Every structure is written in structure tokens, then in C-alpha cells.
């Protein structure tokens, strides 16, 4: 519950520091005194946006700080989720600087507005006249029914899983599309890979083949030159081997004259051996060289095939072709893995769906059991609020598809008149009727202790007579289960409050200021009397005010 509110430099409020208590707190004051300003300031610590227009003094920053007692609300997991210090008395603060910069803090830790809002909405429900429009909104209707059925936590759990389910379905859709595209390209990848695979690409073999083709193309030239070289080395009248042999014979006798001649003789021997070896190898090569045009044509055709592949794939070498072939293989394998991934995602989606349907069935059953009680309690309250012929129904329809709310569709149906046709509440109910339906809804929900605090902003506008007393009683009953703060113009409602705060304006040094003070017994009597009879209430009005205040249970 809200325990304290401090406001500095906000609109007409220069400084305000006031405690709040449990039960029913009523806030009264003349029209224009600043009650809406008070709510506007409070909304800032609930995560609403602000601008520099709210600054009373444009040279100073605006500060709004509220303290909340969390002892009856298990919010520690939410605080832990956002890495915030949890205290049973926690402080929410907003600061708006003259430059327009806004800062938010929870227990002195900076937070963004989304975090502040997500925690604050667990603490306070501000109900104003325009909120009655929410009666026709599906999400609000589900919240009402689930709150009454005490299934809000399970509904939230369902929605978390549903968001994961939706995300997984999107992943599946994308995976199916990727797999479809891969499958469409698969034949192309397989053809390209098979073509390169059949080419039996081998960089070393390709290099040897180039050499072999060159030899085959110039076989006659090579054979002619080798044969001539062999002739000069061994067959000519003055051939190389005979000449080397003659030189050996001349040098060999000189070896007895020293090491120098011995080395020279050894080198000539080596030269003779090398020349003989060269001759033998050249002779062998010559014998194996054949002019084979057909073999040359076959090898050139093979080379042409590889060159065609090089040009086709814009490759500079056989090594690059092999890399391209391997890349096609990866794409083929990836296509297979994509199909397997699709199957995995389909299984995950199916598992999510089974889990969601199980929770949805549980929610649907709880709603079905709660709806008759909701209808009866709201209808009974509407009778007390001056609508004896009103009928309120919640229509629950089952659908096959899963939504964020399960497999149900809910519709709030209403008619204010006996025998009238039940229709969608947003289309048939007037503003005053919607206001009373909303009050009845808030009343039955308060019994479930869903929120620790609710603020009514002139929800009682437009009602009169005995209905006023009934509305006041409803607010009083709600305050037994939660903190209720009611901004009101009705004396019957004001008299019900355990705490009475008065909003008023004063002119100070030529500037209008809004103030808030708590009224004591005599002050309360005077204020309620004024609400009954104007600025100068009669003695009768004062006695009536006393009766209203001190006989609340009547």
C-alpha cells in the first residue's frame, strides 16, 4: 500500500509531504483545487511519461517520491528479476530536470520507465472515469474473470509460454522457407557437385598431365634432339665418352705426383661416370618416346574439360575447383540439416502447443466455474447502485485455435432494462451505466486481494439519491480488503473515509499554490457539511454531516 507521498515543484504544488493510511482515504476539494494535479504527480512514480511543463519553478527540478509497504505483496521475485534491492518499505522516485531530462529510481537504483511501470502496476490501480471504456476491451475482460477466479498467475504463466510458442512458430516458418529454398536449389547443387566429382580433380595429376601433353605435342622434336645428343656422346667419331676416356688415361699416371693430380683424376672419373649415366637415361627416354596423336588428343580433351570447368566456375586453379566442389557438398549437407532442423522445430512447437492446451483447459474450466458467481455478484451490486432491471452476463465461447488468453473468447453482455436484449456492453451501456458496472467489478475483484491499493478518481460522478449511499458502502466494503483512495465530490462517500484529505489552493506572494492537509474530526464535519450545503452550511447540515461520519455502518 501507499504509505507516503512527497511532491516538490510540480504544477501548482510547491511542496507537499503527506502520509497515507490503510482503509478508505477520501480526498475532497473544490473543483480546480488540484486533485487531478495530485493524481498526475502520483502517476509519474507509476511509470508515466512527463515533460518540463509540469515544473512549477522552471529553474529547479521536480521530485515526486512515494513509499510503499510491500509486506502483504510478494514482489521479491520481481525485484530480483530486475536486480533491485527489495525492502518491505520501498521508495519510488521520479526527477524531472529543467532541461527536460527524466530519471526514475526504485530504492535509489536507477531504472527505466518500463521497469518502474511493471512493478508499480502490481501495487496501485488508478481508476478514472475514462477507464470505463476498458470494459469493452477483451484483455480487460479476461483480467477481470481471471482475477476473480484467482488465476492471474496461471494466466501470466500461460502468456509467457504463449510468447515462446509464437516465437518458436516464427522460427519454424523461417526454417521451412529456408528449407524450401534449399530444396529448390538442391538439384542444382547436386548436379554441380557431381560434375566436379566426375572430373576427378587432382592438382598434382593436372600438373603432370600438362607436362605429358607438352611432351606428346613435341615428341618428334624431343626424340630427334635426344638421338643427336646420344650420337655425339657415344657414336660420333670424336664422341664425348671416348674423349673423356682418353683424358682419364692422360691424367691417371699423374696421380703419383701428388694429391692435386689425384683429385683431378677423381673428378674426371666422376665426369665420365655422370656422362655415361646421362647417356643411359637419355637412351631410355628416347626408347619410350612415341609419337601418339590419339593419346595426345585424349589428354588434350581431358585438359579441355578441366579448363572448361575453370572458366565455368571462374576459378584460377584446380585447387579452387576442389574448394568449390566442397562448398557444393556443404550446401547439399546443409539442405539435409535444414530438413532435420524443421523436424526439430515442429516437435518443439508441438510440445509447446500440448503444454499450452493443458493450461488453457485448466484456465477455461476455472473461468467457467467463476462466471456464474461474477454475473450474480455484479448484478446484485448494480441493483444496489440504482439499476434494478440491469442484467450482466459473461459469454464464454470455446475456440480451436490458441490465443494469448487460451482457447476462450469472452464477451461482457449488458442491458440496463428489464426484458431488454443483452448486447456488447461497450455498445449498449451509457457512461453512467459503465461507471457503475466498473465500480461493481472493482468491488468484487477487491475481495480477491489482487492489488493492495486502488484509487478512484471521481468514479461516483453522475449518481444520486440512495445510489450514492450504496456506492459509498461499496467503497467502504472494498477498504476492508485493501487500501482505497477515493477522490470525490459526494459527502456520503467523503463521510465513509477513515482518513480525510483536503486539497485546497492559496495565493502566496502573488502565486497560486495547491496544498493538501489531513482533516481532524471537527474539520471533517465542517468539510462534509460544506459538501452538503455550500460554504455556509446550516446547523441541520452540520448535524447531518455528523450523522454521516459517525454512523458509517448505517
Q: What is the pLDDT of residue 130?
A: 59
pLDDT above 70: percentage of residues in the chain: 95
Instruction: Evaluate if residue 464 carries a pLDDT over 50.
Output: yes
Q: What is the pLDDT of residue 292?
A: 65
C-alpha cell at 524: 471533517
**What is the total residue count of the chain?**
554
Instruction: Evaluate if residue 132 carries a pLDDT over 70.
Output: no
pLDDT band at 294 (very low <50, low <70, confident <90, very high): confident
Q: What is the pLDDT of residue 302?
A: 78
**CA distances in angstroms from 133 to 10, 375, 396, 451, 540, listed in the order given:** 29, 19, 20, 21, 40
Task: Give 5's strand partners.
Answer: 18, 66
Which of 55-69, 354-368, 484-498, 506-520 is the most confident on average? 354-368
Question: In this predicted structure, which of 150-154, 315-319, 348-352, 448-452 has the lowest mean pLDDT?
Answer: 448-452
300 or 468, higher pLDDT: 468
Q: What is the pLDDT of residue 211?
A: 72
Rounded average pLDDT over 54-75: 85
Instruction: Evaluate if residue 420 carries a pLDDT over 80.
Output: yes
Could you tell me the pTM of the whole model? 0.65
pLDDT band at 552 (very low <50, low <70, confident <90, very high): low
- The string of pLDDT tens digits covering residues 328-344 is 888 777 777 778 888 99
Q: What is the pLDDT of residue 129?
A: 61
Task: Give 518's strand partners.
Answer: 501
Instruction: Evaluate if residue 73 carries a pLDDT over 70.
Output: no
- The string of pLDDT tens digits covering residues 243-269 is 988 898 998 988 888 898 899 999 999
Instruction: Evaluate if residue 209 carries a pLDDT over 90.
Output: no
- The string of pLDDT tens digits covering residues 27-47 is 998 877 788 888 888 989 988
Rounded average pLDDT over 384-412: 92
Instruction: Evaluate if residue 184 carries a pLDDT over 80.
Output: no
Q: What is the pLDDT of residue 57?
A: 84
Q: Distance (Å, rounded) from C-alpha 163 to C-alpha 357? A: 14
Instruction: Evaluate if residue 291 carries a pLDDT over 70.
Output: no
Q: What element of type H or E holds 136? A: none
Q: What is the pLDDT of residue 554?
A: 46
Task: Give 411's strand partners.
Answer: 395
Rounded average pLDDT over 402-430: 89
Which of 167-171, 192-196, 200-204 is the most confident on average? 167-171
SS3 516: strand
Instruction: Evaluate if residue 3 carries a pLDDT over 90.
Output: yes
Instruction: Evaluate if residue 74 carries a pLDDT over 80.
Output: no
pLDDT band at 459 (very low <50, low <70, confident <90, very high): low
Q: Distance (Å, rounded) from C-alpha 118 to C-alpha 46? A: 9
Render the burial of 171-194: b for 16+ CB within 10 Å, e for the rest: ebeebbeebeebeeebeebbebbe
Q: What is the pLDDT of residue 113?
A: 92
| Closest of 90, 59, 67 to residue 19, by C-alpha | 67
Instruction: Evaluate if residue 553 carries a pLDDT over 60.
Output: no
Q: Distance (Å, rounded) from C-alpha 481 to C-alpha 242? A: 128
| Closest of 398, 426, 399 to residue 413, by C-alpha | 426
Q: What is the pLDDT of residue 238?
A: 84
The fold of 1-123+451-518 is Rossmann fold (3.40.50)
Q: Using the structure block, give the residue that is written with the C-alpha cell 527524466.
A: 102
Angular region, 34: left φ>0, alpha ψ -120 to 50, beta rest: left
131 or 280, higher pLDDT: 280
| Closest of 141, 106, 108, 101 to residue 120, by C-alpha | 106
Domain extent listing, the chain: 1-123+451-518, 182-336
Instruction: Evaluate if residue 210 carries a pLDDT over 80.
Output: no
Instruction: Evaluate if residue 104 carries a pLDDT over 90.
Output: yes
Contact in structure between 484 and 499 (CB atoms under 8 Å) = no
Strands (E), 108-184: 109-111, 124-128
pLDDT band at 529 (very low <50, low <70, confident <90, very high): very high
pLDDT band at 198 (very low <50, low <70, confident <90, very high): confident
Instruction: Evaluate if residue 503 carries a pLDDT over 50.
Output: yes
Rounded average pLDDT over 165-192: 84
| Closest of 17, 54, 9, 33 to residue 505, by C-alpha | 33
C-alpha cell at 197: 566429382
406 or 512, higher pLDDT: 406
Amino acid at each position: 500500500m501507499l504509505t507516503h507521498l512527497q511532491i516538490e515543484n510540480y504544477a501548482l504544488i510547491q511542496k507537499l509531504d503527506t502520509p497515507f493510511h490503510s482503509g478508505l482515504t477520501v480526498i475532497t476539494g473544490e473543483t480546480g483545487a488540484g486533485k487531478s494535479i495530485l493524481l498526475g504527480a502520483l502517476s509519474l512514480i507509476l511509470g508515466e511519461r512527463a515533460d518540463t511543463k509540469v515544473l512549477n519553478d522552471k529553474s529547479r527540478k521536480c521530485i515526486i517520491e512515494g513509499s510503499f509497504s510491500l509486506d502483504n505483496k510478494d514482489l521479491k521475485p520481481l525485484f530480483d528479476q530486475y536486480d533491485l534491492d527489495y525492502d518491505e518499505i520501498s521508495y519510488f522516485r521520479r526527477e524531472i530536470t529543467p532541461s527536460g531530462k527524466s530519471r526514475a529510481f526504485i530504492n535509489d537504483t536507477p531504472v527505466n520507465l518500463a521497469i518502474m511501470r511493471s512493478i508499480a502496476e502490481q501495487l496501485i490501480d488508478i481508476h478514472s472515469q475514462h477507464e470505463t471504456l476498458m470494459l469493452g476491451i477483451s484483455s480487460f475482460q479476461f483480467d477481470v474473470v481471471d482475477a476473480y477466479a484467482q488465476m492471474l498467475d496461471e494466466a501470466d504463466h500461460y502468456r509467457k509460454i504463449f510468447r515462446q510458442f509464437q516465437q518458436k512458430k516464427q522460427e519454424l516458418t523461417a526454417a521451412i522457407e529456408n528449407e524450401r529454398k534449399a530444396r529448390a536449389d538442391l538439384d542444382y547443387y547436386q548436379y554441380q557437385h557431381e560434375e566436379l566429382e566426375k572430373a576427378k580433380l587432382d592438382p598434382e595429376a593436372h600438373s603432370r598431365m600438362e607436362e605429358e601433353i607438352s611432351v606428346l605435342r613435341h615428341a618428334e622434336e624431343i626424340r630427334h634432339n635426344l638421338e643427336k645428343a646420344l650420337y655425339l656422346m657415344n657414336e660420333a667419331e670424336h664422341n664425348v665418352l671416348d674423349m673423356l676416356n682418353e683424358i682419364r688415361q692422360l691424367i691417371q699416371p699423374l696421380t703419383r705426383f701428388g694429391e692435386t693430380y689425384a683429385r683431378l683424376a677423381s673428378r674426371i672419373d666422376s665426369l665420365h661416370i655422370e656422362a655415361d649415366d646421362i647417356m643411359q637415361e637419355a637412351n631410355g627416354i628416347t626408347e619410350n618416346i612415341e609419337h601418339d596423336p590419339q593419346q595426345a588428343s585424349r589428354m588434350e580433351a581431358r585438359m579441355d574439360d578441366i579448363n572448361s570447368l575453370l572458366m565455368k566456375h571462374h576459378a584460377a586453379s584446380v585447387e579452387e575447383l576442389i574448394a568449390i566442389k566442397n562448398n557444393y557438398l556443404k550446401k547439399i549437407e546443409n539442405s539435409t540439416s535444414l530438413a532435420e532442423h524443421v523436424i526439430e522445430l515442429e516437435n518443439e512447437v508441438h510440445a509447446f502447443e500440448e503444454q499450452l492446451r493443458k493450461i488453457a483447459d485448466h484456465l477455461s474450466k476455472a473461468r467457467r466455474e467463476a462466471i456464474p458467481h461474477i454475473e450474480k455478484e455484479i448484478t446484485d451490486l448494480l441493483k444496489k447502485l440504482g439499476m434494478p432491471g440491469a442484467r450482466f452476463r459473461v459469454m464464454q465461447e470455446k475456440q480451436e485455435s490458441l490465443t494469448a488468453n487460451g482457447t476462450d473468447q469472452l464477451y461482457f453482455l449488458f442491458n440496463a432494462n428489464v426484458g431488454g436484449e443483452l448486447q456488447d456492453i461497450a455498445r449498449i451501456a451509457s457512461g453512467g451505466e459503465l461507471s457503475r458496472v466498473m465500480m461493481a467489478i472493482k468491488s468484487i475483484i477487491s475481495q480477491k486481494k489482487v492489488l493492495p491499493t486502488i484509487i478512484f478518481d471521481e468514479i461516483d460522478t453522475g449518481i444520486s439519491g440512495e445510489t450514492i449511499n450504496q456506492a459509498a458502502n461499496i467503497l467502504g466494503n472494498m477498504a476492508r480488503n485493501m487500501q482505497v483512495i477515493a477522490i470525490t465530490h459526494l459527502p456520503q462517500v467523503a463521510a465513509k473515509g477513515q482518513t480525510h484529505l483536503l486539497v485546497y489552493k492559496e495565493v502566496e506572494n502573488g502565486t497560486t499554490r495547491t496544498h493538501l492537509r489531513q482533516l481532524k474530526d471537527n474539520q471533517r464535519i465542517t468539510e462534509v457539511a460544506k459538501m452538503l450545503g455550500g460554504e455556509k452550511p446550516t446547523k441541520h447540515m452540520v448535524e447531518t454531516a455528523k450523522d454521516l461520519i459517525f454512523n458509517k455502518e448505517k
